[in-house]
Amino acid sequence: MKKLLNDPADLVADSLRGMAAAHGDILRVNLDPAYVVRADAPVAGKVGVLSGGGSGHEPMHGGFVGRGMLDVACPGEVFTSPTPDQMLEATKAVDGGAGVLHIVKNYTGDVLNFEMAADLAREEGVTVEAVVIDDDVAVQDSLYTAGRRGVGATVLAEKIVGAAAEEGKDLATVADLCRRVDDRARSMGMALTSCTVPSAGTPTFELGEDEMEIGIGIHGEPGRERLPLERARDIVGRMATAIVEDLPFASGDRVLAFVNGMGGTPLIELYLVFEELRRFLEERDITIARSLVGSYITSLEMAGCSITLLQLDDEMTRLWDAPVRTAGLRWGA
């Protein structure tokens, strides 16, 4: 294992200190318990938007804290859920009197801990709603979930919902919007290589030089099938077909197309994937109205990518275009 480390046990805390030093105008970091919160929190009268999960998926979630997106993020240890006491303190830190929305990726540990944190926060007088994101069409259940995993749609939900909260929408409206984004989004990922969790020191799984795994999760959990490596056009066809047929997406739809790198894939390959996706959708009369290409929900240094399609309406499109200023995503602000 070759990584930039001091002590593997200190990786998350050391990284959070660096994030605070690099982006002090956008966010603050609390280390005990650990959470990343926007610099001006809490904002009086504004719905707080909280998300979180295991570390190793950067820039998600801490990199999306700031104006127009998340108010606070809870980072767990690498690929490990944050604890309820973290989430409770983070919830209280962004409660401006209008309640707090928890955006939860569907992984069993995250769901259970978020539920416990929400109950504890309600006991302390904070109104909390929670929405579970479950957009991955690859498998119905996985090593870490009952039901579909929550993956790329989380990024899109955090941006769109964060913009609605920034406009002053109330908690029920923001939560309904988050559920609508989840209902209209579908994703699938694939891997060319494994990643190595620093505390383990060995690759999570083995893939031959001529193999790929289709439908893999963001922790290296198994996908639909392991196959000989194919051309990018054929790989995109496999993934996009599963996504389009699942909702289903239809001729005339306008979508936000998100091509995400898993951490070890260069941008030149991600743009190639986007072009193949554009070609695939054009043949089905599906229009890409908005796009996002880059590494936004990663799996440490894993090579591979994921595709997410979101069926847009006018409100989602307007909120996607609204200003955002975070470490990992920014425009218009």
Locate the DSSP E strands across 142-285.
185-191, 211-214, 225-228, 254-261
Rounded-to-integer distance, Cα 307 and Cα 277, Å: 9
Paired strand residues for 170? none
Burial 212-238 (b: 16+ CB within 10 A, else e): bbbbbbbbbbbbbebeeeeeeeebbbb
Contact in structure between 274 and 232 (CB atoms under 8 Å): no
At residue 226, φ and ψ (nearest 5 deg) are -110, 130
- On the 0-12 / 13-18 / 19+ scale of CB atoms within 10 A, 48 is buried
Contact in structure between 164 and 173 (CB atoms under 8 Å): yes
For residue 1, give every residue at least 6 positions away whose Cβ sits within 8 Å of its Cβ, in sequence order, or none: 196, 198, 201, 202
Q: How many residues are there in the chain?
A: 333
Quick one: tokens of 296? 């936004």
Query: Hey, which residues are catalytic here?
Result: 57, 219
- On the 0-12 / 13-18 / 19+ scale of CB atoms within 10 A, 268 is exposed
